[in-house]
């Protein structure tokens, strides 16, 4: 897949943008483990142009994560244009616009997926942003506002006419939030439209090599984006690729030891980026769903200790003992 001349390789699997999850450290880890491209957390255009420090920090990218996109959201043309110029200065390969976020504080104010209720405004913003920057602009959105308004096939064409270089479609409506299953038939219809020539990236519920294979071979998308399945599980990219290309030794499955080393690195980098206490709070979301700790008999007390630890020393001690027990086969109690 190529977006405006940028080569993403064959059948790319990208890390989806996720607020409070896809910080630079996590993105880099996913990239090292096989993700073909990364996206920043969404960045509020309004906060960016007011130079809010916590927001401008989100523009930092690492050369090793390229090709990478910075994503912005907002509901008015002028702030979006101004923010787009600031993002361009930060040097990402792609500027992505979020027209898909369903949460009330965003969509309720007309930004993110809220824009699916005002398509003329969405198109106006897209045109203005495309005109304001030299880097390629892409859009990530949903099927439509609700079940009765699945506008995506026509909308993708309208956005293409505004000059975007690719579109990512999450196969749910705003009303669905994250419930039900992503509708990949509908994503396929976007791709099948003969008038649509830009790449289509499919998104929603990809968590196994089987689903990934279907996305490409059955639904025909050009690229795939993986979100929730990567939280606490950055090696999913390695595992997905190994499933697709079992003979490719770049994707040999990771050992227990390697996975624990990655978890420790995540914790250390999170602490280094924020501070000890908040860094640990930040990483709990990953630990809570980490595949390393799934299905272990009698793990409940250890899980509680792991998720309550508030210093690095405490957390490291829990992890060391879990790893030792898993390796020796000693039971948890
Ligand atoms: C915690 C969380 C934060 C998210 N933040 C963003 C975001 O900032 N921008 C965005 O476009 N989508 C965001 N999403 C949506 C994901 O990018 C993705 O579209 C969605 O989770 C469906 O893909 P999945 O089934 O692979 O998770 C977020 C999702 C989650 C779970």
Cβ proximity of 10 and 241 under 8 Å:
no
Displacement of CA 329 from its chain's centroid (Å): 35
Q: CA-CA distance, 170 to 17, in Å (whole number)?
A: 12
Residue 247 Cα to ligand 1 midpoint, Å, equals 31
Q: CA-CA distance, 68 to 71, in Å (whole number)?
A: 10
Ligand 1: residues whose CB is within 6 Å?
16-19, 21, 41-42, 71, 98, 100-101, 140, 170, 203-206, 226-229
Q: Pick from 228, 282, 286 the residue to mutate for probing ligand 1's pocket: most ligand atoms within 8 Å of its CB.
A: 228
- Spot the catalytic one: 30, 101, 162, 290: 101
What does the mean pLDDT of the chain come to?
97
**Helices 256-273 & 276-289 angle (0-180, nearest 10):** 150
Mean pLDDT of 197-225: 98
> In this structure, are strands 2-3 and 137-142 parallel, antiparallel, or unpaired?
unpaired
Cβ proximity of 179 and 192 under 8 Å:
no
Mean pLDDT of 268-283: 97
Residue 309 Cα to ligand 1 midpoint, Å, equals 27
Task: Looking at the CA of residue 203, tell me the nearest atom of ligand 1.
Answer: 23
pLDDT surpasses 90 at 308:
yes
pLDDT tens-digit map of 53-98: 999 999 999 999 999 999 999 999 999 999 999 999 999 999 999 9
Residue 16 Cα to ligand 1 midpoint, Å, equals 6
- Residue found by looking up tokens 């405004």 in the block: 121
Cβ proximity of 129 and 163 under 8 Å:
no
pTM: 0.97
Confirm whether 101 is a catalytic residue.
yes
Q: Pick from 13, 15, 18, 152 the residue to mutate for probing ligand 1's pocket: most ligand atoms within 8 Å of its CB.
A: 18
Residue 203 Cα to ligand 1 midpoint, Å, equals 9
Residue 24 Cα to ligand 1 midpoint, Å, equals 16
At 325 the pLDDT is 97
Mean pLDDT of 236-264: 97
Residue 151 Cα to ligand 1 midpoint, Å, equals 20
pLDDT surpasses 90 at 183:
yes
Residue nearest to atom 19 of ligand 1 (CA): 170
- Residue found by looking up tokens 């089987």 in the block: 210
At 309 the pLDDT is 98
Nearest to 72 by CA among 117, 135, 162: 135
The single-letter DSSP state of residue 249 is: G
Q: Pick from 13, 17, 73, 230 the residue to mutate for probing ligand 1's pocket: most ligand atoms within 8 Å of its CB.
A: 17
Mean pLDDT of 171-200: 98
**Helices 152-161 & 184-192 angle (0-180, nearest 10):** 40
Q: CA-CA distance, 108 to 287, in Å (whole number)?
A: 31
At 124 the pLDDT is 98
Task: Please report which confidence band the pLDDT of residue 184 belongs to, taking 50, 70 and 90 as the band edges.
Answer: very high
At 201 the pLDDT is 99
At 333 the pLDDT is 83
- Please state whether the peptide bond connecting residue 244 to the residue before it is cis, i.e. omega within 30 degrees of 0: no
pLDDT surpasses 90 at 48:
yes
Residue nearest to atom 10 of ligand 1 (CA): 17
């Amino acid at each position: 897949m190529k977006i405006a001349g940028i080569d993403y390789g064959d059948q790319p699997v990208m890390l989806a943008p996720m607020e409070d999850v896809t910080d630079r450290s996590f993105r880099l880890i996913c990239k090292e483990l096989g993700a073909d491209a990364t996206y920043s957390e969404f960045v509020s255009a309004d906060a960016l142009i007011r130079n809010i420090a916590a927001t401008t920090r989100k523009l930092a990218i690492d050369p090793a994560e390229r090709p990478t996109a910075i994503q912005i959201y907002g509901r008015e043309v002028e702030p979006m244009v101004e923010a787009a110029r600031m993002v361009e200065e930060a040097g990402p390969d792609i500027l992505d616009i979020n027209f898909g976020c369903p949460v009330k504080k965003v969509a309720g104010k007309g930004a993110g997926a809220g824009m699916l209720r005002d398509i003329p405004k969405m198109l106006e913003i897209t045109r203005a942003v495309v005109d304001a920057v030299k880097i390629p602009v892409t859009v990530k959105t949903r099927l439509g506002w609700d079940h009765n308004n699945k506008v995506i096939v026509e909308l993708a064409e309208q956005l293409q006419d505004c000059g975007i270089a690719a579109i990512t479609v999450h196969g749910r409506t705003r009303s669905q939030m994250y419930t039900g299953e992503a509708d990949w038939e509908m994503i396929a219809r976007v791709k099948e439209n003969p008038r649509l020539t830009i790449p289509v990236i499919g998104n929603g519920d990809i968590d196994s090599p089987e689903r990934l294979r279907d996305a490409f071979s059955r639904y025909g998308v050009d690229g795939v984006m993986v979100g929730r399945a990567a939280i606490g599980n950055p090696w999913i990219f390695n595992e997905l690729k190994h499933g697709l290309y079992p003979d490719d030794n770049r994707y040999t499955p990771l050992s227990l030891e390697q996975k624990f080393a990655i978890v420790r690195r995540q914790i250390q980098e999170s602490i280094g980026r924020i501070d000890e206490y908040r860094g640990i709070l930040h990483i709990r979301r990953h630990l809570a769903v980490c595949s390393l700790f799934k299905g272990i008999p009698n793990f409940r007390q250890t899980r509680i200790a792991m998720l309550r630890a508030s210093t690095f020393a405490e957390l490291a001690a829990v992890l060391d003992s879990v790893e030792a027990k898993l390796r020796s086969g000693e039971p948890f109690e």
